[in-house]
């Protein structure tokens, strides 16, 4: 991996990580415990403590399990980041998101989610900036994989 791409990747990781932690801090400060801010007809800001994984699933496995799994996955992605410079953006997004959510689990024992998208009475499970980065990274990875 060239030094230029490495710097771009680590800058992106750092930027998303800081943005994620800052927005979670704001959610904790202004939305906790049960305030809802209606931003648009389909978008609210809420405060949710997610002890599970995506969509709150697998809560019974506990935070330690998710921290260990995320650390192993992140280490592997850092390895891939150095080995596969063509996909630096994909790996950087996923690494940044994983680090943001790992930080929450270590500090709080859960992940802070605050973005609530909904249509009528259907609410998508709340999520955060880290989740968005992970999702975008995975979608880009799948797109690139199927494009080949």
Known catalytic residue at 113: yes
Strands 37-40 and 122-123, bridge-based pairing = unpaired
Known catalytic residue at 131: yes
- Can you tell me the distance from the alpha carbon of 96 to that of 63, in angstroms, rounded to the nearest whole number? 19
User: What are the distances in angstroms from CA 107 to CA 64, 103, 104, 122, 137?
Assistant: 12, 6, 5, 31, 25
Active-site hit among 20, 104, 116, 131: 131
- Can you tell me the distance from the alpha carbon of 132 to that of 38, in angstroms, rounded to the nearest whole number? 20
Active-site hit among 20, 104, 113, 116: 113
Cβ-based neighbours of 11, under 8 Å, separated by 6 or more? none
- Can you tell me the distance from the alpha carbon of 121 to that of 25, in angstroms, rounded to the nearest whole number? 28
Return the active site residues.
113, 131
């Amino acid at each position: 991996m060239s030094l230029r791409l490495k710097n771009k990747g680590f800058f992106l990781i750092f930027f998303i990580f800081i943005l994620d932690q800052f927005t979670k801090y704001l959610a904790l400060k202004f939305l906790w415990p049960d305030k809802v801010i209606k931003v648009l007809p389909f978008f609210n800001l809420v405060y949710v403590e997610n002890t599970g994984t995506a969509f709150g699933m697998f809560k019974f496995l506990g935070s330690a399990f998710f921290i260990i799994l995320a650390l192993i996955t992140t280490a592997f992605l850092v390895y891939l980041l150095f080995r596969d410079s063509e996909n630096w953006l994909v790996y950087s997004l996923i690494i940044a998101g994983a680090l943001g959510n790992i930080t929450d689990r270590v500090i709080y024992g859960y992940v802070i989610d605050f973005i609530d998208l909904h249509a009528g009475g259907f609410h998508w499970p709340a999520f955060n900036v880290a989740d968005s980065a992970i999702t975008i990274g995975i979608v880009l990875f799948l797109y690139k994989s199927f494009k080949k």
